[in-house]
């Protein structure tokens, strides 16, 4: 899939979750959060993709950088 700057994409990805400093029972109940994001492609490389929620000329807001290893699905909504 060829992603270009300003493509609008839908991403499904997993976010890291952690435990606080409290003592807790040792059990396997921490699962990554299932996330989805819609945004404009800003930057991409082999390690991560950065999207933004809004743009005006060359100004952007609501940037999010997601490691590629966390992304399970990418769909181009508008190229």
Residue 50, pLDDT above cutoff 90? yes
Compute the average pLDDT of residues 36-61.
Answer: 96
Compute the average pLDDT of residues 52-68.
Answer: 96
Query: Is residue 25 domain-resident?
Result: no
Q: What is the pLDDT of residue 73?
A: 98
Query: Is residue 22 domain-resident?
Result: no
Query: Is residue 3 domain-resident?
Result: yes
Query: Is residue 11 domain-resident?
Result: yes
For residues 71 and 49, the answer to whether their CB atoms sit within 8 Å is yes
Residue 3: give the domain boundaries.
1-15+33-74
Query: Is residue 1 domain-resident?
Result: yes
Look at the block and give the residue holding tokens 């606080």.
Answer: 20
Q: What is the pLDDT of residue 58?
A: 84
Query: Is residue 41 domain-resident?
Result: yes
Q: How many domains does the chain have?
A: 1
Lowest mean pLDDT among 4-8, 40-44, 55-59, 66-70: 55-59
For residues 8 and 24, the answer to whether their CB atoms sit within 8 Å is no
Compute the average pLDDT of residues 30-54.
Answer: 97
Spell 23-52 as b/e; 16+ CB within 10 A means b.
eeeeeeeeeeeeeebebbbbebeeeebbbb
């Amino acid at each position: 899939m060829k992603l270009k700057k300003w493509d609008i994409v839908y991403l499904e990805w997993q976010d890291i979750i952690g435990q606080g400093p409290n003592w807790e029972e040792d059990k396997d109940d921490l699962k990554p959060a299932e996330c989805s994001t819609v945004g404009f492609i800003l930057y991409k490389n082999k390690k991560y993709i950065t999207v933004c929620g809004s743009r005006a000329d060359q100004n952007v807001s609501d940037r999010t950088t997601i490691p590629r290893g966390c992304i399970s699905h990418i769909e181009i909504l508008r190229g």
